[in-house]
Structure 1
Amino acid sequence: MIFRTKNGALTLSSNLFKTLTSFLNSSPFSSIPKPNFSTPRRPASLIVPPPPPTTTTSRTVSSSDFNTICSLLISSQPHQTTTNIDDLLKGFEEKLNSNLVLQILMNYRQLGRIKTLEFFAWAGMQMGFQFDDCVVEYMADFLGRRKLFDDIKCLLVTVFLHKGRVSCRTFSICIRFLGRQGRVREALCLFQEMESQFRCKPDNLVYNNMLYVLCKKERSEELIDFALMIFRRIELPDTYSYSNILVGLCKFGRFETALDVFGEMGRAGLVPTRSAVNFLIGQLCSLSAKEGAVEKVRVKDAHRPFTILVPNVGANSGAVQPAVAVFWAVHEMGLLPSTFVIKQLISELCRLGKMEEAVKLLKLVEGRKLSCVEEGYSIVIQALCEHRLVEEASHLFGRMLSQGMKPKLVIYNSVISMLCKLGNLDDAKRVFEIMNKKRCLPDNFTYSALILAYGEARNWEDAYGLLIEMLGLGLSPHFHTYSLVDKLLRDNAKLDLLFKLERKLDSQILQKLCKAGELGAAYEKLKSLLEKGFYPPVYIKDAFEHAFKKSGKLKMARELLQKIDNDCKPDETEIRSSE
């Protein structure tokens, strides 16, 4: 790695350039001011044109030279000194060129990291670091992937001091790798010294990678203004320039500026990346979702601090409209956001009651045959049912069935609940029958909505039938649901059915207690049933016996089981005599 001493001199302790110390100390370029990566400065206003590229004469790479050098390096001992490498590769100095060096470097899997770096240092000394751009770029990528950032800095300094060319692509590689590791300040410092110290004017690739680091990797908001300034310095921003700054502006809540930049991009005839569109629309939907949300605010000025709930309104009003505008704008450009973002936008439109726009969006999704069609139908139908728009909900529900889709339970429940609340019991019953034909099992919500609706209509027969069916499926009715049916049966003097309903419910409760392993509660429940003269069915008795036997407490249950057997025998005799 490269360090700067108190007197400003550079000392080298890098694996890559440890063999170059004596060479650099005697170099005529050692008096040139070295770049400083430690303290960031503002970019120089004076743009120095880069020197003309200096490339070695391209020669055809001899496979024999390549194979011989690789074989010698592989067979040599690790950590060879410079003198040993000179002796090892003696006679190959005149055969070196950028193409040969690049091919040997690309054979790093056989050479290993240490020998690859030692060969590059030796080849650089032989060629005066007058490599083609591809060699320096490859080494920058090689070091960056291994997180050898001090070696990267040493590479740039060494090539520059020997009047070698450091290309814009090399700088962009270094900046991107630094940013990926969260070393944003170092990346920014390298970008700032690119012109002033290395005399290399940034191109779009460098600008884009710097914007990528500042907008996507930087976590604090303090550098977003600097990123915007860098963006304005680009003469001809491209798709990635606009996309990176869009993400950064949305990330730190600069939505108005982001929408202005998006408009500029459209006027320039450029299409943003899909990730930038996803981020822009997603953040706008999230901002809109905060409308009307309640936030906790701590009041500390009072004698006793307390917390109040404050609605978050006003500032975020209408945030969903720009999201819709961005969606249709990119749609005209031939681009659509991800299915997740589309569902997020549809959900937000439904939450705000903008059903026409949500349905329009759903039709587009259906036309494009996207994977989120069924989920989109589910979101919109639920919203239509909540707003009790019967015709629209019924139309979409029928269309969903005609297209061969399988509505989920939540859709059936929404439609049935809406119809029940409006008193359309025939339509609700028809949807319930369709639900059974489609083999979608109803749940407590389904049965409760229908039973309550039939209860309000004083239809005890259908209410009782549905409750019995509900208990047969092992579902537990809500207290109000059961009380309603109980009252209907008493009002209509159906005491026999009431008695049957009570036995059915008690049997189910006892079975659930046995399955849950609550043996004490199960014992007390069965005991109370027997005291009332209720005898559970055979399958409930077996479940009770199995639960106690499994836990090793069968002796405790013997008394109740024996009582059931004894009490049931007279009943069977009476039944035979009655026959």
Structure 2
Amino acid sequence: MTLLHFWGPADPSWSSSISATPKTCSTDCLTEPPRPQTSPSAFSVRSSTRGSGTVPSGLQKQPKKDLSRILRTESAIRGIEKKANSSKYSRLWPKAVLEALDEAIRDNRHDSTLKIFGLLRKQHWYKPRCQTYTKLLMMLGKCRQPQQASLLFELMLSEGLTPTLDVYTALVSAYGQSGLIDEAFSTVESMKSVSDCRPDVYTYSILISCCIRFHHFEQIDRILAEMSYLGIECSSVTYNTVIDGYGKAGMFEQMERSLMDMIDSGSCLPDIFTFNSVVSAYGRSRHINDMERWYEEFQLMGIRPDIITFNILIRSYGRSGMYEKMASVLDYMEKRFFSPTVATYNIITDAYGKAGDLGKMDDYFKKMKHQGIKPTSVTYCSLVNAYSKVGLVSKVDSILRQVSNSDVKLDTAFFNCVISAYGKAGEVEKMSNMFQMMKERKCWPDNITYATLIQAYTAQGMTEAVRDLEAKVIATKERSVKRTLLFCPHYIDLQYLMSAQPFFCMSFLKPCLLLSFEQAQG
């Protein structure tokens, strides 16, 4: 396999924010800004998982704000929220209100955003703007608040605003991202009857993305046929969304057909996102020959691999137990001046850890630190899981000492790994201490945490402790349960948890399983 040493193109950017400068405008749609032409983050086609610690898919966020600005922002939002609960504040400084609203939208705080927006509407200088409603609807979509989005749309109509194409598209996104596909289609149908609001390629791309996300693959051809009938050409984002969706679902025939359609279109040629999607799809399914074949094909098209491509190759070889090829990719990267990232090393340490090759895992972990790359919580999770698998509890103790002497940001998944390791080893006291430390670090326990503790306490005959924890789990919000299963299933051995408390585990995992089943069945 011939590897190239050229960097791929940089990611496009797409952002939306409310101006901090107070503006007043009429409801005339001509005052609206032009629609964004670059691809939104929802359609960036990159493959990554929490477990491997790969670079997050999609557009990269702006660098984190410094602590002082974060504190100022938090204080400002809290201050505005307090005023929002009172009816006497109608002459506030516009800049303060608009900045607080902008920050709340940026951080996807839907409760705070709606309170601040309510305060904004009370101001004597307030005039409704379609652009503001568009951003609010997009935020509510990201927060899975379709009912609030629907009410907000009705409020907009009551204020005398005529919805723009952007507003309708944001509403489609709000419904679609929550799995309300019928409502999303209904909104698109409504758009067709409104002058100047007929759906465009951006609207249809969002609809396609939502259908793929909730496994409504039968709708894809229907949408593409409708676009063709209306004379709307697919964009690169549209093709990449379809290709990535089919690839992640293992629908390789449809994926390759869509890729051929993209090439035949002549106007939208494959790019680095297409490259990574196809290679990742085959690699994820352990179809190594197909992965390598398409790797060569894309190079013949003149598309050069980037660091994400190499990370995909390393992960794919690791999953397939092809450790020599995995190491050769890393060697090639270093010889061609591709600097391995923290994601690269996380993938390698996880692969060797799962294979039980602790020597290689430790070597790459040391190499990672020697090169000045700081380990993350994901790195330490892989190490803890590997040591726990072979019963080396003393190594877990060593990891904790390293973590305590570093500034690594720990998360709930890390503590779950350590608690699970101590639980399997019967170290109940250490496990309890980690549970306490977890709360001190403000890493709130989830249902995996409680299930692990209950399994260990049950094995020790500590029935009273089991009853207390069961009561806490019952009080845990359903939202936390869903998040646990959907985002953290690969850190803890669920089969191990089920062995001691099958009925109890199923009682709180059932809502998550039903949610996943409903999404899979559509």
TM-score interval, normalised by the smaller of the two chains: 0.3 to 0.5
TM-score (norm 2): 0.40
* Higher gyration radius (CA): 1
